[in-house]
Amino acid sequence: MTHFQIPHATTIMALRARVKSWREEGLSVGFVPTMGALHAGHIALVQLARAHCDRVVTSIFVNPAQFAVGEDLDTYPRDLIDDAEQLSRVKCDLIFIPDAKLMYPDNFSTSISLTGAAAGLESDTRPHFFSGVATVVTKLLNQVRPDVAVFGEKDYQQLQVIRQLVADLDFGIDIVSGETVREKDGLALSSRNAYLDDDQRKRAAQLNVILKDFAQDLSKGMPAGKAQSKALKVAEDAFDSVDYLEVRCTDNLAELEDKPIQKPARVLAAIRLGKTRLIDNRAALPS
């Protein structure tokens, strides 16, 4: 990796030495954790971190703890050279590239259990997921020790889980969220979009439309249950299967009563096209 055009660290010691040198200069540090296969959505998060801090660290680590048996850990897109080139162009200051042995050494035996925002939605179909996410995020935040960490709104439940984690465990780190970046047809950018064939890619664009219509129905005063049933019927026709399509409270993702929304809400979905699973969400505001 010596040909990278950007400084990088593969050990915690090297990472902390670089961060320590910035601290000694009185500089603030932002952090963007990723699993690589970077796209414009990730780059927007790096730029957002730069807007908040003097220096930016981006990590690239495909976290095995958040994949279950049969999921796409082995086939998850990886292109470290391209990732480094993209980060260099936006003047990221350091890439942290740990390997699985560093993150989960022999006899590693700790995990984090969550409720609250982690209940339901992703947890219903991927019960292992948030424990794996929370454990690796905790490790990364402790390794980098940033002032600010930036996460995307596309993974909205994950964002809220991390907000809760950081508040509950007194990390003293500001969590900043970045808006979802979309293709021209509205499909949310995702590394997993690369799995879609041409027909699936066209069908995938309907997810954004369905969520927008769902949110608009709620904003017009349609009861939550009726709006959900309407959206679900369209989604079941459009996609191979629907893991969930729900409306939740914006802040804590609590379930809502079957009546017109009285406060900001979020509509969230996970759908499948062939072997590809896509998630997205939209805000819904009361009328």
- The residues annotated with a catalytic role in the active site are 42
Q: Which two tokens stand for residue 115?
A: 């409720």
Q: In what order do the strands lie in the sheet with 94-96?
A: 8-9, 94-96, 55-60, 29-34, 148-152, 174-178
DSSP 63: -
Q: In angstroms, rounded to a whole number, what is the distance separating the alpha carbons of residues 268 and 253? A: 10
Beta strands, E only, the chain: 8-9, 29-34, 55-60, 94-96, 148-152, 174-178, 241-249, 265-273, 276-284
CB distance 29 to 53 below 8 Å: yes
- How far apart, in Å, are the Cα atoms of 32 and each of 77, 78, 144, 218, 265? 18, 17, 10, 33, 26
DSSP 181: P
Q: Strand 174-178 relative to strand 148-152: parallel, antiparallel, unpaired?
A: parallel
* Residue type present at position 207: L
Q: Which two tokens stand for residue 201?
A: 């890619």
Q: What pairs with residue 266 in β-bridges?
A: 248, 283
CA dihedral for 231, 236, 239, 244, sign (positive or negative): positive
